[in-house]
């Protein structure tokens, strides 16, 4: 396949940045994301026990960590739910082939 040398779309050029003082929390969320379960293609919340172990290991206040990770997780689950609904709506409105 031959490369076309097309410019990147504008949305791909505008990469959001995370302030340095928040990168540890984003990294923690990504680490904890590996502990979640998925059901029927949807993410479940990160288990409380995983957040507890992570907090103890890193010496972070559990209540603070729980609130922070839960807020981030709620946004992520909402995003996944919205994407799933959009995908289902596209499928519903497609005309059958034939």
Give residue-wise pLDDT tens across range 40-57: 888 999 999 999 999 999
Summarize pLDDT for 4-51 with one digit per residue, the tens.
Answer: 788 888 877 887 788 888 899 999 999 999 999 999 888 999 999 999
Residue 3: per-residue pLDDT: 61
pLDDT of 1 higher than 80? no
Whether 95 shows a pLDDT value over 70: the answer reads no
- Model pLDDT, residue 94: 64
**CB neighbour list of residue 38: distance below 8 Å, 6 or more residues apart:** 44
């Amino acid at each position: 396949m031959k490369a076309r040398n097309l410019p990147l779309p504008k949305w791909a050029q505008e990469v959001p940045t995370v302030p340095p003082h928040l990168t540890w929390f984003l990294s923690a969320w990504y680490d904890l994301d590996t502990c979640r379960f998925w059901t029927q293609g949807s993410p479940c919340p990160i288990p409380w026990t995983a957040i507890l172990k992570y907090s103890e290991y890193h010496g972070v206040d559990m209540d603070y960590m729980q609130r922070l990770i839960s807020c981030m997780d709620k946004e992520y689950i909402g995003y996944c739910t919205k994407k799933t609904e959009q995908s289902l709506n596209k499928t519903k409105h497609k005309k059958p082939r034939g």
